[in-house]
Amino acid sequence: MADQSPTVTLDLAAKAAGHSPLQSAWRRFRRNRAATISVGVIVVMALLSILVPMLSAHTIEDVNWDYLTTPPSLENGFWFGTDVNGRDLFVRTFYAGRISLAIGVLATGVALVIGVIYGAVAGYVGGWIGNVMMRFCDVLYALPTLFFIVILVTVLGAKNILFVFMCIGAVEWLTMARMVRGQTLSVRQKEYIEAARAIGLPTRIILRRYIIPNVVGPVIVYVTLLIPVNILIESYLSFLGLGVQEPMTSWGLLIAQGASELESAPWMILFPATFLTLTLFCFNFIGDGLRDALDPKEY
């Protein structure tokens, strides 16, 4: 019997069950209560991060001299308290969420583009070219990731979020490239790939039409797991003073500022640390849910 594309196999199985592969995956994903709740939490978090700084009476830079290092209170309107400069931590926490989520998503997008293209080419071309490409990845793997990112940020003088997410994404594509290469090596031996070669389709068309669509399942799962990793890396950088700079802020920068005032003003670290932890957990639950939902063995 001729080999079939994984996508085709899933299509046939789903049609036999009376629904499409996407519908089947969605049904299994919805059965994962932790994953569905996590999606709702992330959506609410993203909306609040956009709307709160826009609608609040305070901005992230407003200094309130009468409320320096004020504890959280509903009476004075500072729900999360203020920092040592009298700035409203409620607004700053959600504005920081906007920056941290943006860096996590954009850095993952950079890693996604580089990793998928690099891994698909290395796996499909193979031979000594593919080996050289992967040995280059091994050399980069030998370098400590965070140390390498710190070097990039320091050398490039990255003082804005554009450079920060580019530096993070330029390092975090390695695992994705290896994963895509492994999937490509198994797919390229299928008969439908041989047929595409036989009729003279260009390599770029084969990669775009047949190779990449058949590795998209594991890639989607890994993307959801990479976003929290990148958010955490940005937090490390900001904590060290190498990430987001004032007057902008991020959860990592707020945690760094709160750590210096931990004994006298614990609320300064409590709220950003709580939101950061909640976000990391939610993305990991979503990744677990997608992994189970997209597993072909479940069809």
Instruction: Look up the domain containing 176 and give its range.
Output: 7-298
Per the listing, tokens 């965070």 go with 146
Tell whether 233 is covered by a domain: yes
- Distances from the Cα of 292 to the Cα of 152, 217, 230, angstroms: 36, 11, 23
Q: What is the reported pLDDT for 269?
A: 92
Residue 2 resides in a domain: no
Residue 117 CA from chain centroid, whole number: 18
Binned at pLDDT 50, 70 and 90, residue 19 comes out as: low
Query: What pLDDT is recorded for position 174?
Result: 87
Any bridge partners for residue 88, and if so which?
82
For 36, the token pair is 């569905």
Confidence bin at 90 (pLDDT 50/70/90): very high
Q: How many domains does the chain have?
A: 1
263 inside domain? yes
42 vs 48: CA distance, rounded Å? 10
Query: Span 213-229, mean pLDDT?
Result: 84
Better-predicted residue by pLDDT, 18 or 218: 218
Q: Other C-beta atoms within 10 Å of 180: how many? A: 28
pLDDT of residue 1: 42
The residue ranking higher by pLDDT, 29 or 38, is 38
CATH number reported for the structural domain that contains residue 199 in this entry: 1.10.3720.10
Q: Assess if residue 15 is contained within a domain.
A: yes
- Distance between CA 220 and CA 290 in Å, rounded? 8
Q: How far apart are CA 34 and CA 36, in angstroms?
A: 6
Tell me whether residue 142 is in a domain: yes
Distance, in Å, from the CA atom of 89 to the CA atom of 267, rounded to the nearest integer, reads: 9
Does any domain span residue 1? no
Largest CA distance in the chain: 79
* 93 found inside a domain: yes
Two structure tokens written together for 295: 């597993």
Residue 23 three-state SS:
helix
